[in-house]
A and B are shown apart, each in its own frame.
Chain A
Amino acid sequence: MIVEIIILSVLMLAALWTVMTRSILRSAIGLAFVSVMLTYIMFRLSSPIAAVFELSVCTGLISVVFISTITLTFPLSKEEVLQHMKERLSRFWYLPLILILVGLAFSLAQVKLNLTLPPPEVEQDVRNVLWKLRPFDLAGQVIMLLTGVYGVLILFRQVRKK
């Protein structure tokens, strides 16, 4: 369990850096690092297929989407950056304090989880769960994909017209 706690701590530090860092590009890279750590946790917790999805889609594709979005916008001017830095510091310095306090409070709380665990599942294969037990999830995914494609098409058509 020590390894899992270390990985979770690194994940949390990466998330903190993602929120606190000034540059949005570094923030996007920090988010990708959070995804990598989440992938490692998934591998450790015996969820390899979800981990592969997380690594390829969240670390790869979403980082590309974020970096492309950042590239399509112009950076701030020097005066704006100076003003922005002054404002940022006053707004963001509370976060590490809040996180440390919340983490300490929940860690020191002696919570005994008396949960009744359900019987182990019969179906052990993810493919069978997705295709046989939960086909409506797949239908929902396809509908969402089509909706997403349609939304992006409309948005970019409007941008091109302008």
Chain B
Amino acid sequence: MTDPLALFWITCVFVIMLMIAGLYCIFVTYNLIRVLIGLELLIKAVTLLLVVAGYANNHLARSQAFVITLIVMEVIFIAVAAGIVIGLYYHNQSLDVRKLRNLKG
């Protein structure tokens, strides 16, 4: 039988690593689509944390309800953000954040 708290701690380590990967992707890249991919990785880390917390607490139904809500939010966020990225691309002909200087000053 797996100790839930031991599994929780090990999963927390992977959640932290996943968050670092997502944050690194957001901070280092200049491509807008890759920024969205980094944000997706951060959301995946939160999803994983919710699931393992529900498993460790033995509150599986509640954690699944939270995860479903999070997934709905995630899809809407990505759809709108992808629309904004396409709009910016048509406006500037580039996805490079360094070239988005229209609002400068």
Contact = CB atoms under 8 A, between A and B. Distances in A.
B37 A130 contact: no
Interface of B is mostly: helix
Contact of B20 (A4, A61, A102, A147): A102
Given A11-B14, A12-B18, A54-B71, A27 B34 contact: yes
Given A8-B11, A19-B41, A118-B59, A61 B64 contact: no
Interface residues of A, number: 78
Interface string A110-131: 0101010110110111101110
Interface of A is mostly: helix
B97 interface: no
Interface of A: 1, 4-5, 8-9, 11-12, 15-16, 18-19, 24, 27-28, 31, 34-35, 38, 41-42, 45-47, 49-50, 53-54, 57-58, 61-62, 65-66, 68-70, 72-73, 91-92, 94-95, 98-99, 102-103, 106-107, 111, 113, 115, 117-118, 120-121, 123-126, 128-130, 133-134, 137, 140-141, 144-145, 147-148, 151-152, 155-156, 158-159, 162
